[in-house]
Structure 1
Amino acid sequence: MLYLLHEPVEKETVEEKILPLLKNIKHELVSYPLDKEFDIDKDSALMLYLPDAVLREIIPMAAKNSWSVSILPHPNNKFTSKGLGISEDIEEVITQYAECEDPYDIDLLFCNEVPVFSSVNIGDIFILSERNGKKNFFQEVINIIHNIRRVSSLSHHSYQISTDGEKIIHTSALGIIVVEHASSSLISKRLLEESSINDGSFQAFVLAPQNLLVLLWFFVRSLVPNTKTLNRLPSFIGKIKTSNLQVSDDAPMDYTIDGEKKQSKALNFEVHKQAVLLKQKSIYSENTEKENGRKSIKFEGLPKGETRKELIKRSLPILPRASTEQFQDLFKVLRTNSKISTAFMVMMILSTLIATFGLFANSSPVIIGAMILAPVIAPIVSFSMGMVRYDVPMLKESFITITAGTLVSLAFAAGVSIIIPLKVLTPEIEARLSPTLLDMGIAISSGIAAAYAHSNEGIAKSLAGVAIAVALVPPLAVAGIGIGWWDWEVFSGAILLYATNLAGIILFGGLTFLLLGFAPFKRAKMGLVYTFIIVILVAVPLSLSFDRIMQEANITRALEGTTIENVVLRDVRIRFGSTNVVSLRLVGSENIEPQRIQSIKKEIEKRIDQPVKLEVVSAMEF
């Protein structure tokens, strides 16, 4: 016998849409709620045309009495059919019932003795939960836009999580999502491989992002239409696989079971094995993953200790914010690095000497060796932190150390240039006499690399040291050579390059610390303004120099390889002055007379639209 359960108000709908499909099946209509005496024998079954709220009552009752059930799709059945993986077509469900000889045993997850068909959402996880069970990409986008006004007020809540009665972690998180299988929520679809509803366990995901940026990035990745799961669990998500779980807090927790809002100080999750006898097909009935009894717990990235307490106090920041432990560890290192020491001075002298000899020898490998030895990165990064934290003692100590290192480097480079009886502008020296905005770009990249490497323990500090040394030690040595030669052009060009890189590194190193959350913007504002002004002042001569390089490139491009009066122009070089000097080689098939060179000069001036002095080397082609 088949008993078709329905609510009294829907009797007409049942008679019109369902009864004609049951004409070959012995059945009886039963109105819900049931009479106290209602009972069925083991050969009978229930067919349920009921909404989610009623199914949450009748299915545990059926499980307790070992009644077989078939669930028909209903306008207000948004979670049960999807959660159990059954068809949402009435005719197909009835056909499956008729063809099903032995009911399928299905596990069922309970939260505080209430059955869970889809998911339990604890706390503020609306951004990663599906709305009314919908799966459409654009509907999910609309969902987040609808709730975007709540993003600024998101904050962590405290949670004590236990399993088998033993506490495993006291953490904070935006919320927790509990699901029995992969299809239950937006987040589980991207983090779980296809899972079974009959493995005797469920999954709990603890969402604990420490800033909105990482949360929104994960949300965007989750919405992208893709059937593949993410290869790696994001660091801000903890994952627990178990057969029972307890979540508690001192204050009442807001949570939803399949969209129904509830509140409690303690939640108890437990899987009832083979609780439901399902007399119809489920997409999970063929997934026969066996229960292995193993728990899986991954929560390395969840906040604990002081970090947990700080996150509970405030709303979730947009950008990363360093924890107290992170700040204390980094600050100790930078405080030490800001102080002048014998080791710093010795290494500064040695790196300068090596760089100076390498510049005279025109040896790139020797200069690179000096870059590796240079210790000047340490006080510069400390100065950047002192600037954004407006820490006056650190600023003073860093400034003294940087100044002392600069003066010592200039003095020793000047001394070497006086001792060595050579006054030749080698290509390595000449390369550091005309800084441009391109060098500012190098300084910016170096400053970001230095600050990031110091804030991240997983990156070797030496990598940042090499990056900064590239920009600082050689120009300092060249400036010292300019002092030794008493040559203003050599000194001014190199010291401008040094100042450029120093200012760029300090400013963007500080900005990096600011973005990584090591200082509040209000405190960093004044230091950043002063440094930015210095960068702007330095950028003025750099832009002029960059403009000069552009002019040189345009002139070279206009003349190199061209033919004037059957003479080919080769090896074009430009020297700027009150009147620019064009140096080149004229290649022809015969000797070139002075009158002809004058004619070529006029044609060159016409092509580049400016007067020039011409220096030529004549060559004959045979």
Structure 2
Amino acid sequence: MLYLLHESQEKESVEENILPVLKNIEYEPVSFPLDKEFDIDADSCLLLFLPDSALREIIPVAAKNKWPIAILPHPENKFTSKGLGVSEDIEDVITQFTECDNPYHIDLLFCNDIPVFSSINIGDIFLLSQRHGKKNFFQEVVNIIRNIRKASSLSHHSYQISTDGEKVIHTSALGIIVVEHASSSLISKRLLEESSINDGAFQAFVLAPQNLMVLLWFFLRSLVPSKKTLTKLPSFIGKIKTSNLQVAGKEPVDYTIDGEKKQAEELNIEVLKQTLILKQQSVYSDKTEKENGRKSIKIEGLPTGETRKELIKRSLPILPRASTEQFQDLFKVLRNNSTISTSFMVMMILSTLIATFGLFGNSSPVIIGAMILAPVISPIVSFSMGMVRYDVPMLKESFVTITAGTLVSLAFAAGVSLVIPLKVLTPEIEARLSPTLLDMGIAVSSGIAAAYAHANEGIAKSLAGVAIAVALVPPLAVAGIGIGWWDWEVFSGAILLYATNLAGIILFGGLTFLFLGFAPFKRAKMGLVYTLVIVVLVAVPLTLSFDRIMQEANITRALEGATIQNVVLRDVRIRFGSPMVVSLRLVGPQDIAPQRIQEVKKEIEKKIDQPVRLEVVSAMEF
């Protein structure tokens, strides 16, 4: 016997939509809720035309009494239909029901004795709840933007998680998502391959991001259309596969079951294996059981101990915050680096001497060796940390160390320039007299690299490469040579380059520490503002110098290879002055008379729109 179960107020809908399909099938209509005496024999079946709320009541009863069921599409049973993977077409359901000789025995997920068809969302899982129907890419973007506005109020909650009666972890998290198969939520679709509904287990994802940036990045990745799951579980997500789970918090736990809000002191989640007899096809029943329902626990990235306590106290920060262990290890290193010592002074003197001799000898390998030896980058990084943490002792010690190293370097470079009887601007010296915004870019990148290398012990060996990139000692050596020669142009150009490197590494090293979570922004902002002012002041002459280089490049490009008065201009060189000096070679088929050179000069002035003084080498082309 077939029993058609429906709510009494939906009798007209049943007569209009269901009965025409059942015209050749014998059935008996039954109103929901059922009488206590209601029962069916082993050969009978319940055909359910009910909303989700009613199905949550009847399905556990059917499972307990071993009643076979088939679920008809209903305007309000989306969670059940999608969760069990049954057809939403009435004729398909009737066909499957009539042709089903061997009913399917499927698992049921329960939370505190309530059946779960889609997902359990515990805590602040505001963006990862079950989606109703299909959404296109634009709708997903709008949904994320709308919900990210709530992000500033997100905070961790304390959860004690157990399975099989044994404690798994005491952690903190935004929340936990529990699903039985991959298509139950946005996050499970990206992290799970298609799974069977009959593997005797469910998946619990513990979301514990320690800052909003990693959460936002994960959401953006989830938006990218892809049929593939993520190959690696994000570090802030814990994954537990089990047949039972207990979740408790210090306060009553807020959660939803298929979108319905609830609260409880403790959640007991379990799967009852093959308890429901389904007399229709499920899209999940034929999936290959790859893991055979074996328990697995991956919780290495979840916060515990002091980190857990810190995350519970306040809202989720935008940027990362370093752990207590990271603070202690890095501060110990940077405090040691900020202190002036004999070894620091000796290495500064030796690196300066090597750099000075290399500059006079025009030897790049020797200068590179001096860069590697120079220890001055270490107290500069310490100064960056002192600035963002507003650690006055560290700031003072670093400032003293940097100042002492700078003065010693200038003194010994000046001394060498006085001893060596040469006053020649070698190419290596000249290369450090006209810093531009390009040098600021190098200093910025090197400052980030230096701070990041200090924060990550495993890559600290790359500091030699950073020292080469920043090149702190060679500009100091050139400035010292300028003092020895009493040449303001040499000294000012080199000291500007040194100041550029110094300001760039301090500011962007500090910003890197801030981004890595070693200081709150409120504490760091004053130090960053002061350093930014210095960078801006340094950038003014750099901008002028860069503008001059651009102007020189434009003039050179305009003149090089140009033909004026049947004469070709070659090897154009520019020196700025009043007027500008243009040095070039004139190539023609015959000797060039002075009068003709004057005509070339007038054409050049007309071409670049300013007066020039011409230095000419004449050449004949045969």
Same structural fold, with TM-score higher than 0.5 when normalized by the shorter chain: yes
| Cα 1:424–1:587 shift into 2, 3 Å | same
| Cα 1:15–1:297 shift into 2, 3 Å | same
Amino acid at match of 2:345: M
Amino acid at match of 1:304: T
CA contact (8 A) 2:253 2:264 kept: yes
Q: Kindly provide the CA deviation profile for residues 280-309 of structure 1, in whole angstroms up to 9, marking residues without a partner as x.
A: 111111114166453211122211111111
Amino acid at match of 1:314: R
Structure 2 CA distance for aligned equivalents of residues 308 and 343 of structure 1: 41
Q: Report how far residue 146 of structure 1 moved.
A: 4.5
- Return the TM-score normalized by structure 2: 0.96
User: Any stretches of 5+ residues in structure 1 without a counterpart?
Assistant: none
**3-state SS in 2 of match to 1:466:** helix
Residue aligning to 1:408: 408
Residue aligning to 2:586: 586
Amino acid at match of 1:355: A
Q: Report how far residue 138 of structure 1 moved.
A: 4.2
Structure 2 CA distance for aligned equivalents of residues 483 and 145 of structure 1: 59
Matches within 5 A, 1:179-190: 179-190=179-190
Task: Report sequence identity in percent.
Answer: 83
Q: Report how far residue 107 of structure 1 moved.
A: 1.1
**3-state SS in 2 of match to 1:531:** helix
Q: Kindly provide the CA deviation profile for residues 110-160 of structure 1, in whole angstroms up to 9, marking residues without a partner as x.
A: 111211111000000011223446554444444445544432211110001
1:383 has 2:390 as partner: no
1:300 has 2:275 as partner: no
1:89 has 2:89 as partner: yes
1:518 has 2:506 as partner: no
Residue aligning to 2:216: 216
1:494 has 2:488 as partner: no
Structure 2 CA distance for aligned equivalents of residues 488 and 524 of structure 1: 37
Structure 2 CA distance for aligned equivalents of residues 578 and 151 of structure 1: 60
Moved over 6 A (4+): none
Residue aligning to 2:358: 358
Structure 1 CA distance for aligned equivalents of residues 497 and 112 of structure 2: 69
**More off after superposition, 215-224 vs 420-429:** 420-429
Q: Kindly provide the CA deviation profile for residues 213-256 of structure 1, in whole angstroms up to 9, marking residues without a partner as x.
A: 22122112213332221222111111111111111112100001
**Count of residue pairs brought into register by the alignment:** 621
Structure 1 CA distance for aligned equivalents of residues 135 and 588 of structure 2: 77
**3-state SS in 2 of match to 1:434:** coil
Q: Report how far residue 188 of structure 1 moved.
A: 0.2
Structure 2 CA distance for aligned equivalents of residues 567 and 290 of structure 1: 81
CA contact (8 A) 1:450 1:465 kept: no
| Cα 1:8–1:82 shift into 2, 3 Å | same
Structure 2 CA distance for aligned equivalents of residues 50 and 350 of structure 1: 86
Q: Kindly provide the CA deviation profile for residues 402-456 of structure 1, in whole angstroms up to 9, marking residues without a partner as x.
A: 1111122222323333343433322222111101112112112222222223223
**3-state SS in 2 of match to 1:378:** helix
Structure 2 CA distance for aligned equivalents of residues 361 and 300 of structure 1: 56
Residue aligning to 1:169: 169
Structure 1 CA distance for aligned equivalents of residues 186 and 293 of structure 2: 26
CA contact (8 A) 1:199 1:290 kept: no
CA contact (8 A) 2:118 2:130 kept: no
Q: Kindly provide the CA deviation profile for residues 194-217 of structure 1, in whole angstroms up to 9, marking residues without a partner as x.
A: 111111111100111112222122
Q: Kindly provide the CA deviation profile for residues 362-417 of structure 1, in whole angstroms up to 9, marking residues without a partner as x.
A: 33333223222322221111111111222111111001111111122222323333
Matches within 5 A, 1:199-598: 199-289=199-289, 292=292, 294-458=294-458, 460-471=459-470, 472-598=472-598
1:22 has 2:7 as partner: no
CA contact (8 A) 2:204 2:240 kept: yes
Amino acid at match of 1:229: T
Amino acid at match of 1:493: G
Matches within 5 A, 1:44-83: 44-83=44-83
Structure 1 CA distance for aligned equivalents of residues 194 and 181 of structure 2: 8
**3-state SS in 2 of match to 1:35:** coil
User: Any stretches of 5+ residues in structure 2 without a counterpart?
Assistant: none
Amino acid at match of 2:541: P
Amino acid at match of 2:595: Q
Structure 2 CA distance for aligned equivalents of residues 163 and 457 of structure 1: 37
- Return the TM-score normalized by structure 1: 0.96
Structure 1 CA distance for aligned equivalents of residues 582 and 261 of structure 2: 82
